[in-house]
Structure 1
Amino acid sequence: MVPSNLGEEMSTEVTLPPEWEDDERMNFLFSDFKENRDVNTKDWDSKIDFWTSLILKICRSRGTVCFNLQELNKIFQRKGFVPLGLGTVIQCMARCGKIQRESEFAANVDCGWVSWGFGLLLVKPLKWTFSTLLGSSGVTLEESFVVIELVKEKAAELLGVYWSSPVANCSLLSFQELQTLSSHVCIDESTLCMALLQLQREKQVTVSLHEGEKIVKFSQPGQDRVSSVSDVDLGIYQLQRSERLLEVRVEALGLEAEKCKEEARVLLREGKKSQALRYLRSRKRVERKADRLNAQLENVKGILDRIANSETDKLVIQAYQAGVSALRLSLKDGTVEGAESLVDQIQELCDTQDEVNQTLAGGALNSTDADTDELEDELRSLLEDSTLDRPSTLPEVPSHPLSPVRESGSLCDDLLCALPLVPQSLFNITDEELDKELSRLTLADTCLQQKDRTSPVKRAESAQ
C-alpha cells in the first residue's frame, strides 16, 4: 500500500509539467469528464493521456508500483482544487490493462500470500472483482491499484539483485533477509510483495511458510522456472540459520571474555586481587563455552560442506549417466564383427589400388624404351658441342711471315726469329722468372724436335 505521507513527499520531489502554471489549460484538465466520450473525443483522449502519463511518471520517480485515489488527490491539489476526473482516468487505465486492483493482482497468483498478512489493503473480499468496481458510480478513495508495467520492471530488478548478491548460493531466504537485501530496490514492504507476486506469476519465485516464518526460494540463473521447496531445502535452510546464530553467539562470547580480562587488569592495578581472580575465572568459563560453541559450529559447517559435495557428486553422476546413454546410442548399430569386416574391405581396396598404381607405372616405363637410343644420341651430341666450345690453351698463330728455311740444325734459330721482338724498355724481371721462362723455351724446343723427326713432310710444308 502507498504510504500515507506519499503525497507530501511526491509534491516536493516530482517535477510537474510546464502547463501546470497555465490556468486556462489546468482548468480544462481539472474539470470532470463528459458522460459520453463521443461528444468530444479529442478533449476526452487528451485529458486521459495527460493524467495517465503523469501518474506513471510519479510512481516511477518514487520507485513504487501502487497508488490510490486519495493519494493522487493530495499530490495533484492545485490552488485548493483537486482534479474531478481522476476516477474516470483510473477506470480507463484498468480497461486498457495498465493497472490492476491490488487484491485482484494477489488473487491471480496461486499462493497463500493473502494469509501472510503482508499489509496489503484488502478492503473487499477477493471475489469482488474489478468489473464490479467499474460498474459502480466511482472509485473508492482507499482502494490500491498496481501499475503492471512498473511491477514487471521492479520484479526483473529484484531478481537481478538476488542473482548478483553473495546469498545467491542459498536455496532459501527469509523474508526479513530479502527485505534487507532489496532495501535499495523496493522502498516499502508493499512494493516488495508486489514484485515477488509478479516473479511467482512468472515461475521465478516460490514462497511458503515454515514454522510461522516466511521463506522465499528464487530460481537459479539458466533455469526456466523455480522448483518447489523440498525437505532438503528446508534442512539446508535450518543448518544455515543455525550456523549464523552460532557465529553471532561465539562472537559475543569472545567480546565478553575480553571484557572480563580488562576488568581483571583494572582491579589488579587497584590492588583488589581477589576480585581480579573472580573475573579471570569468569573469563575461563566464557572461553570454555565459546570453545564448545566453536566445535558445534565446525560440525554444522562440515555437514553443509558434505551436502554441497553431495550436490556436486550428484551432478557428476548425472553427467556420467548422460554420457553412458549417449555412448550406448552411438554404438547401437556397431559390433566387433562389423568393424573387422569393414577393416578387411578397406585393406582389400588399398591392395587393389597399389596393384593399379604398379601397372600404370610399368606401362609408363615401357613406353619410354623406344626413345632411349634417340636420347643417348642427343646427349652425346651435347657432350661434343661442349668440348668444341671449350677455350683453346694454345698460343695464337703469328700473323707475320716466317724467315726462310735454314739448315735443320738451326730450327731453334727459326723459332727465335718467329717470336716477337724484345721490348727495349726495362722491366722489373727477377732472375727466377727468367729461369722459368728459359725452361719453358727449352721444353718447347724439345717438343718441336720430336715432332720434326716423326713428320718431315709436314715440316717441309711448314717451311714453305
Structure 2
Amino acid sequence: MKNYFPKCWEDDERMDYLFSAFRGEKNTNPHDWDTKINFWNSVITAYCRSHKTVTVNCETIIEEFRRKGKVPLCVGQVLDELIRIKKLESVNYVIASRGWLSWSFHVFISTPSSWLFSRFWKKPTAYPSGVYIHRDLLKEYANSLLEAHHNQVQCDLADNLVTYEAVKSLSSDFCKDSTTLDLILSYLEKEKKICIGYSGDGSKVVKFTDGPNSTVQAISEADFGIIRLKKTIEMLKLQISKLVEKKKKLHQEAKTALKEASKTKAKQALRKKLSTEKMIENSEQTLATLEQLQDEIKTAESQKVILSAYEAGASALRKTLSDQRLRPDIVHNTMSDVQEVVEMCQDISTIMQDKSQELEQSYMGEESLDQSDLEAELAALLNSQADSDNEEYATSSATPVRDKGDTPLRRRPIASANKFDVDSLPDVPSHNIQEDGDKQVRQLLSS
C-alpha cells in the first residue's frame, strides 16, 4: 500500500462505498456528498505531500487511486466540486495578474475547453481535465519557504537578496522540481512577498521581504552590487579550495619524482607549488578584503536599524509628552501658577492671623477699659463703705463686747413693736472688712 493511502484502504466494505458514485444530488443526500468529498480531498492532499508537489493532473491522478483494478467512480465529481469551491485552482491563478483581464483570461482561455464543455453538458462520471494547483498546499509551502529564509537571515540588507540556487536549496524539503518551486515563487511574487530579478550574467535572483508581515521593495542597483559581491566571495572560496587541492597534488608529485630520482621533475613540481601558494595567498587577501566589505555592509544595516529605533523612540516620546501636555512652557507656567497660589495662601494666612490679633487686642482694650472703670468705682464704694462702718463701729464702741469665752447671745423676743432689743443683734465682726472687699474684687476680675 502506498504511503499516502489512509488506513481504511484495506477495508473492502468501506472502500466499495467510497469508490461508488454519488447517490442523488447534493441537496437531497448531503451526508453522502460530504463524506466522499472530504475523504478524497484528504487523499489528494496526502498524494501531493508525498510527491512534493502542489499540482494535480486530472487525467493521471485517477490511475494513482486505482484499487484492485477499479477506479473511483465519484472522483470526477469530487474534482469538479473541489474546483468549484476553490480547493483546486487553475495554474493562471498564480501566474496571471489580478483584475478583470486576469479573470477573463482564467475563465475563457486558460481553463481547458473540455472541462468548460463538461461543466454544463457532462455525464455524472465525467472527469475534469488539465493541471490544477492545490491552493491550500501552495499557501502552506509558500509560508514554509518564507519561514526557512527568515530563520537564516542575519542582516536584512545583505541576506534578503539570494540566488535562485540558494532558494532551491531552502525548498528542497517540499519541492521535488523547479516547476513546483516556480509556482511557489510566482505566488509569493503576486502576494508581494518576494521580487524576482536577473543579474548582469543572466542568473535569477530573489529578494525577500524584511519580515513576514511586510511587503518587498523593488530590486535596486545596490542590491545587484551585493549579489555580485556575494558571488565573488563564493567564487574566491571555490578557487582557493581548488588551489589548495592543486598544491597538495604538486607536493605529492615532487615526492614521487624524488623517489624516481628525477630531480628535474621534482623541481618543476616544487616551482609550480610555490606559484600556487602565491596565488592562494593573493586570493586569501582578496577574500579577506571582500568579506570585510560585506561585514561593513551588515554593520551599516545594523546602524540603520538602530537609528530607526532611535527615531521611532524619539517620535513616540515626543507624542507622549504632547498628549500629556508636558512641554517646557506649560510646565513653567504651571509651576509659576502653583508658586503664586502658595504665596497667596501664605498672604491670606498672615492677614487672617494679624487681623485676628488686632481684633483680640481691640476687644481686650475695651474690656480692660471697662474693667478699670469698674474697679475704680468698686474701690470708691468700698472706701465709702469702710468709712461708714468705721463710724458705726466708733459709735458702738461703748457697748460691752462679749469675750470670746462667753456664750453667744440668743435672740430674744421683742417686747413691743416700738422697742428694739439690742441683745438680739449678732456680735460685731473682728476681721478687716476692707481686706475682704479687695479680695472679692480680685476674684471677680480674675473670673
Same fold (TM over 0.5): yes
The within-5 A match list for 1:375-390 is none
| Structure 1 residue corresponding to 2:290, chosen from 300, 319, 330 | 300
Aligned positions of 1:33-432 closer than 5 A: 33=22, 42-108=31-97, 127-129=109-111, 133-136=115-118, 137=122, 138-139=126-127, 143-165=130-152, 169=156, 170-210=159-199, 211-221=201-211, 223-315=213-305, 318=308, 344-352=336-344
1:153 CA displacement: 1.6
The one-letter amino acid paired with 1:280 is: L
Q: Secondary structure at the match of 1:12?
A: coil
1:416-460 deviations in whole A, cap 9, x for unaligned? xxxxxxxxxxxxxxxxxxxxxxxxxxxxxxxxxxxxxxxxxxxxx
8 Å CA contact 2:195–2:206 kept in 1: the answer is yes
* Range 292-301 or range 174-183, more displaced: 292-301
Q: Does 2:30 correspond to 1:30? A: no
For the structure 1 residues 322 and 157, does the alpha-carbon distance in structure 2 shift closer, same or farther, using more than 3 Å as the test? closer
> Separation in 2 of the partners of 1:74 and 1:104?
26
Q: Check whether the contact 2:209–2:215 (CA below 8 A) recurs between aligned residues.
A: yes
Q: 1:269 to 1:135 in 2, by over 3 A?
A: same
Match of 1:13 in 2: 3
1:13 is paired with a residue whose SS is coil
**CA deviation string 1:200-229 (max 9, x = no partner):** 333222222334322211112364212121
Q: Kindly indicate whether the alpha-carbon contact (under 8 Å) linking 2:236 and 2:283 is maintained by their aligned counterparts in 1.
A: yes
Change (3 A) 1:227 1:145: same
How far the C-alpha of 1:35 sits from its partner, in A, is 8.4
Q: Residue 339 of structure 1: CA displacement?
A: 6.7
Unpaired stretches in structure 1, ≥5 consecutive residues: 1-10, 111-123, 366-464
Partner of 2:2, secondary structure, is helix
Structure 2 CA distance for aligned equivalents of residues 79 and 268 of structure 1: 72
Residues in 2 aligned to 1:335 and 1:34: alpha-carbon distance in whole angstroms: 77
Counterpart AA for 1:173: V
In 2 relative to 1, CA 177–64 (structure 1 residues): closer, same or farther, beyond 3 Å?
Answer: same
Q: Structure 2 CA distance, aligned partners of 1:85 and 1:234?
A: 52
Identity over aligned pairs, percent: 28
Please state whether the residue corresponding to 1:146 is helix, strand or coil.
strand
In 2, the alpha carbon distance for the partners of 1:238 and 1:43 equals: 59
Counterparts of 2:30 and 2:330 in 1: how far apart (Å)?
82
- The change in CA–CA distance for 1:244 and 1:31 in structure 2 (over 3 A counts) is same
TM-score, normalised relative to structure 2: 0.63
What is the distance in 1 between the residues matched to 2:183 and 2:154? 22
Please tell me whether the aligned partners of residues 109 and 197 of structure 1 are also in contact (alpha carbons under 8 angstroms): no
Q: Report the CA distance between 1:62 and its aligned residue.
A: 4.6
How far did residue 334 of structure 1 move? 9.2
Deviations 1:170-218 (A, max 9, x none): 1211221111122123333333233333333332222223343222111
Amino acid at match of 1:158: L
Contact 1:171 1:233 in 2 (8 A): no
Residue by residue over 1:382-407, the C-alpha shift from the partner in whole angstroms, topping out at 9 and shown as x without a partner, is xxxxxxxxxxxxxxxxxxxxxxxxxx
Taking the aligned partners of 2:283 and 2:107, their CA distance within structure 1 comes to 50
Q: Is the Cα contact below 8 Å between 2:153 and 2:160 reproduced in 1?
A: no
Partners in 2 of 1:177 and 1:279 — Cα distance? 38
What does the per-residue CA deviation read over 1:281-328, in whole Å, with 9 as the maximum and x for residues that have no partner? 101111222222223223322332333333344445555666776788
CA contact (8 A) 1:155 1:199 kept: yes
Q: Is the 8 A contact 1:65 1:150 kept in 2?
A: yes
When residues 353 and 217 of structure 1 are mapped into structure 2, their CA distance, relative to the original with a 3 A threshold, is same
> Secondary structure of the equivalent of 2:204?
strand
Letter in 2 for 1:216: V
In structure 2, how many angstroms separate the alpha carbons of the residues matched to 1:94 and 1:250?
54
Counterpart-to-counterpart distance in 1, 2:341 and 2:20:
96
Deviation string 1:320-360 (CA, Å, 9 cap, x unpaired) is: 66677678876899998877665544444444455677789
Classify the secondary structure of the residue corresponding to 2:110.
coil
Map of 1:120 onto structure 2: none
Q: Which runs of 5+ in 2 are unaligned?
A: 100-105, 358-447
Aligned mates of 1:86, 1:93 — CA distance in 2: 10
- Distance change >3 Å, CA 360–CA 72, structure 1 → 2: farther
Q: TM-score, normalised by structure 1?
A: 0.61
Distance in 1, Cα, partners of 2:31 & 2:335: 85
